[in-house]
């Protein structure tokens, strides 16, 4: 789950380190930190946006910790960016180890195969598979599709994606 | 307007036929009085300063298979105003179309063509030669047959920035995919049916491998988005190997599979894609469709017949009439 925390820090040295300490203590996977020095608030504090990938329980702990460190938390937003999309693969899908294909997608941690439909018209004939995949955000979708294209090239499969993904 | 007509096959003959049969209509409505002074096929030539008789030309082509005796004249030797270029598309070097068009532009003569090869191969050279010599180059017939794609974007949508182009630009592929879906039929069966109907060529690779669509995408990207790209810049996948099971699996999710050509950002792509059944691009049969995303006008989608003699001739004649408006030929 990706969370965005909007913080406001006092404009004195050491504040950012202090705030980030609240994240690292809980081994949170920090995806990005944007420090808006140029956009100081009327109160003279500096807005900072932190994106983290953590579970629900952990985010509560982080918030607690930040409060105890006297860090001003303006907003916490969960981004539900996960997108589902469909891909069709044609070729010797089964012989080229469909399980391995699925594992490779799941192993990225960016995406998960949620559903698989397979049509096999006959022995030695090419089969066709439809995969439903859930991925994290636009970039997760893009990376997953590129990965599938690479796998398809290696396994000599034809890929049909949706037009707008 | 004195016309030099190079290439007297399906398209060239149709142009000649319509110009003849609509002589009075064009004269009265547009003040457009074309005369074909030179005509050429692969091994013969016909020429008359005051215009050839199209009816006789068509009869002679039918009976003898030629349009005159031998080929002696070069474009340099002929008095003409506009070149109509309808020779076969050549992907290797664009010839003979490329030399014909360049020579004509260099002579300061305007050109109308249905031939994709030269445009896809030598866009920059053609563009520069035409602007240097103040000669007009029009090519509506190269993309989407009768569908007014290029002139729509250049004239009616002038002042917009075009952000994205997507379309189905090959009727043969669209026929095959539509039939496979409708009847649950295998690819090979539908392809041979299309060949019997004259929708697919004996060697269908130019269409089914996505080459034709890619050439059209190159022409659109260069002329409407000011790119400078070649065929080799397009990521091309064709429709060969698509199974009827793939169409079934897509259908279960209310999708159809179409061969889509696309210019998005700086990426040019041709490949089979799934689109919702009720999507504006989900046209059936041999129809073509193009959708232009613009910044002011939003998305504009047009559909129509992508090939055929009279459809292609329609685009050529509309280009000729546009040129006539600018030049006021007598
Ligand atoms: N047909 C369509 O629906 C359509 C649609 C859009 C664009 N186009 C394009 O329009 C062009 C013409 O198509 P088409 O269907 O009319 O083709 P076509 O029927 O094959 O006709 C080609 C003509 O060009 C002549 N030719 C061949 N080599 C020549 C040379 N070196 N010099 C002069 N003439 C030469 C041929 O001569 P012979 O008669 O002696 O063989 C024939 O008359 C092609 O570039 C095609 O891609 C066609």
Mean pLDDT across B119-129: 96
**Cβ–Cβ gap A160/B281 under 8 Å:** no
| DSSP letter, residue B251 | H
Query: What rounded mean pLDDT belongs to chain A?
Result: 89
Query: Which two structure tokens, joined as six digits, stand for B27?
Result: 């004269």
pLDDT of A13 strictly over 80: yes
Taking the Cβ of residue A161 and every Cβ of chain B, the question of whether any pair is shorter than 8 Å is answered with: yes
Predicted local confidence at residue A114, as pLDDT = 93
* Domains A2-78 and A82-162 alike in fold: yes
Nearest in space to B78 (alpha carbons), one of B117, B115, B107: B107
Q: Which residue is closest in CA terms to ligand 1's atom 42?
A: B9
Nearest to A160 among B252, B253, B272 (CB): B272
Suggest the residue from A84, A145, A160, A162 to mutate for an interface test with chain B (most B CBs closer than 10 A): A160
For B287, phi then psi, to 5°, come to -65, 150
pLDDT over threshold 80, residue B5:
yes
CATH of A2-78, one of 3.40.950.10, 3.90.25.10, 3.30.70.260, 3.30.470.20: 3.30.70.260
Neighbours of B225 (CB within 10 A): 17
Reply yes or no on whether the pLDDT at A39 is more than 70: yes
Residue A102 tokens read as 């699925």
Q: Round to whole Å and give the CA distance between B116 and B282.
A: 25
Enter the tokens of residue B10.
């399906």
Could you give the C-alpha distances from B128 to B105, B122, B131, B136, B226, in angstroms and in order?
A: 10, 10, 5, 11, 13
Residue B285 Cα to ligand 1 middle (Å): 24
Active site residue B163: no
Q: What is the pLDDT of residues A105-150, one digit of tens each?
A: 999 988 999 999 999 988 888 999 999 999 987 788 999 999 999 9
Which of B5, B6, B8, B11 has most ligand 1 atoms within 8 Å of CB, for mutation? Answer: B11
Are the CB atoms for B286 and B171 separated by under 8 Å? yes
Contact across the interface for B245 and A91, Cβ inside 8 Å: no
The sign one gets for the Cα dihedral A18, A23, A25, A29 is: negative
Q: Average of pLDDT values for A30-51? A: 88
This prediction has a pTM of: 0.84
Tell me how far apart the alpha carbons of residues B117 and B95 are, in angstroms, rounded to a whole number.
8
The edge-to-edge listing of strands for the beta sheet with A29-35 is A29-35, A46-53, A2-9, A72-79
Between CA B221 and CA B295 the distance in angstroms is 16
The CA distance from A124 to the nearest CA of chain B, in Å, is 14
Neighbours of B113 (CB within 10 A): 28
**Check whether domain B2-145+310-329 has CATH 3.10.20.30, yes or no:** no
> Domain boundaries in chain B?
2-145+310-329, 156-306
Axis crossing angle, helix B309-327 with helix B23-30, rounded to the nearest 10: 40
Q: Is pLDDT above 60 for A80?
A: no
Residue in B5, B6, B8, B9 to alter for ligand 1 test, most ligand atoms within 8 A of Cβ: B9
Q: Taking CB atoms and an 8 Å limit, are B248 and A90 in contact across chains?
A: no
Instruction: Report the topology of domain B156-306.
Output: Dihydrodipicolinate Reductase; domain 2 (3.30.360)
What's the whole-number mean pLDDT along residues B314-325?
A: 97
Q: Where does residue A14 rank: exposed (0-12), middle (13-18), buried (19+ CB within 10 A)?
A: exposed
Tokens of A117: 């439909």
Is-contact A123 A92, C-beta < 8 A?
no
Alpha helices for B22-69 (secondary structure H): 23-30, 54-64
How many angstroms separate the CA of residue A99 from the nearest CA in chain B?
19
Domain boundaries, chain A: 2-78, 82-162
Cross-strand pairs, B264: B164, B267
Domain A82-162 adopts which CATH fold? Alpha-Beta Plaits (3.30.70)
Which residues does ligand 1 sit against, CB inside 6 Å?
B 6-12, 40-43, 86-89, 96, 114-116, 141, 145, 307-308, 312
Pocket test for ligand 1, best of B42, B207, B286, B309 (most atoms within 8 A of CB): B42
* pLDDT value at B306 more than 70: yes
Ligand 1 atom nearest to CA at B89: 45
Per-residue pLDDT tens over the stretch B228-287: 999 999 999 999 999 999 999 999 999 999 999 999 988 999 999 999 999 999 999 999
Range with the lowest mean pLDDT among A81-90, A95-104, B24-33, B140-149? A81-90
Quickly state the pLDDT bin for A22 (edges 50, 70, 90). confident
Best interface-test mutation with A: which of B166, B177, B243, B250 has the largest number of A CBs within 10 A?
Answer: B243
CA distance A133 to A111: 7
Three-class SS string for A6-59?
Answer: EEEECCCCCHHHHHHHHHHCCCCEEEEEEECHHHCCCCCCEEEEEEEECCHHHH
pLDDT at A38 over 60: yes
Q: How far is the CA of B97 from the centre of ligand 1 (A)?
A: 10
The C-alpha atoms of residue B177 and residue B244 are separated, in whole angstroms, by 9
Nearest Cα neighbor of A157 from A116, A97, A85 is A97
The pairing of beta strand A158-162 with beta strand B267-276: parallel
B310 CA → ligand 1 middle, Å: 14
B55-99: pLDDT as tens digits: 999 999 999 999 998 888 999 999 999 999 999 999 899 999 999
- Cβ–Cβ < 8 Å for A141, A147: no
Both tokens of A37, joined, read: 């020095």
Q: Cβ(A36)–Cβ(A49) under 8 Å?
A: yes
Q: Which of A118, A126, A163 to mutate to test the interface with B (most CBs of B within 10 A)?
A: A163
pLDDT tens digit string along B207-228? 999 999 999 999 999 999 999 9
- Mean per-residue pLDDT for A60-68? 89
Q: How far is CA A129 from the centre of its chain?
A: 25
Closest-CA residue of B relative to A126 is B243
- As a whole number of Å, the end-to-end CA separation of chain B is 6
pLDDT band at A81 (very low <50, low <70, confident <90, very high): low
Catalytic residue among B61, B216, B273, B305: B216
Encode pLDDT of B20-38 as tens digits. Answer: 999 999 999 999 999 999 9
pLDDT for the residue B233: 95
Are residues A160 and B248, on separate chains, in Cβ contact within 8 Å?
no
Closest to A131 measured CA to CA, from A150, A112, A158, A147: A112
């Amino acid at each position: 789950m990706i969370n965005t925390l909007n913080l406001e820090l006092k404009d004195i040295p050491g504040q950012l380190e202090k705030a980030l300490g609240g994240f690292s203590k809980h081994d949170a996977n920090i995806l990005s930190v944007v420090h808006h020095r140029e956009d100081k608030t009327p109160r003279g504090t500096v807005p900072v946006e932190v994106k983290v990938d953590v579970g629900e329980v952990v985010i509560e702990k982080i918030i607690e910790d930040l409060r105890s460190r006297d860090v001003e938390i303006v907003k916490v937003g969960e981004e539900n960016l996960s997108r589902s999309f469909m891909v069709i693969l044609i070729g010797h899908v089964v012989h080229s180890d469909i399980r391995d294909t699925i594992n490779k997608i799941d192993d990225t941690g960016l995406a998960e195969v949620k559903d698989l439909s397979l049509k096999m018209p006959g022995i030695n004939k090419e089969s066709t598979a439809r995969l439903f995949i859930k991925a994290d955000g636009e970039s997760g979708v893009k990376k997953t599709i590129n990965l599938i294209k690479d796998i398809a090239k290696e396994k000599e499969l034809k890929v049909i994606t949706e037009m707008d993904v | 307007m004195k016309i030099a007509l190079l290439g007297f096959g399906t398209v060239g003959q149709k142009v000649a036929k319509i110009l003849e049969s609509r002589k009075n209509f064009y004269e009265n409505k547009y003040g457009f009085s074309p005369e074909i002074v030179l005509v050429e096929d692969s091994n013969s030539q016909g020429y008359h300063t005051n215009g050839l008789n199209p009816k006789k030309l068509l009869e002679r082509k039918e009976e003898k298979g030629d349009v005159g005796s031998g080929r002696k004249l070069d474009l340099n030797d002929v008095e003409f105003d506009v070149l109509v270029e309808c020779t076969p598309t050549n992907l290797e070097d664009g010839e003979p179309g490329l030399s014909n068009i360049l020579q004509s532009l260099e002579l300061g003569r305007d050109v109308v063509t249905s031939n994709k090869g030269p445009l896809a191969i030598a866009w920059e050279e053609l563009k520069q030669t035409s602007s240097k010599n103040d000669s007009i180059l029009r090519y509506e017939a190269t993309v989407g047959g009768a569908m007014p794609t290029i002139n729509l974007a250049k004239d009616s949508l002038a002042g917009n920035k075009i952000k994205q182009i997507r379309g189905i630009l090959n009727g043969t592929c669209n026929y095959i995919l539509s039939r496979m879906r409708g009847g649950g039929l295998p690819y090979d069966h539908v392809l041979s049916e299309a060949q019997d109907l004259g929708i697919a060529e004996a060697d269908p690779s130019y269409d089914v491998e996505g080459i034709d669509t890619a050439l059209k995408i190159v022409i659109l990207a260069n002329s409407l988005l000011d790119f400078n790209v070649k065929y080799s810049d397009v990521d091309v996948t064709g429709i060969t190997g698509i199974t009827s099971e793939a169409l079934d699996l897509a259908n279960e999710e209310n999708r159809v599979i179409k061969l889509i050509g696309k210019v998005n950002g700086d990426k040019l792509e041709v490949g089979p894609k799934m689109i919702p059944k009720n999507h504006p691009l989900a046209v059936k049969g041999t129809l073509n469709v193009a959708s232009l995303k613009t910044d002011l006008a939003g998305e504009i989608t047009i559909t129509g017949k992508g090939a055929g003699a009279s459809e292609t001739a329609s685009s050529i004649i509309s280009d000729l009439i546009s040129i006539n408006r600018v030049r006021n030929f007598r």
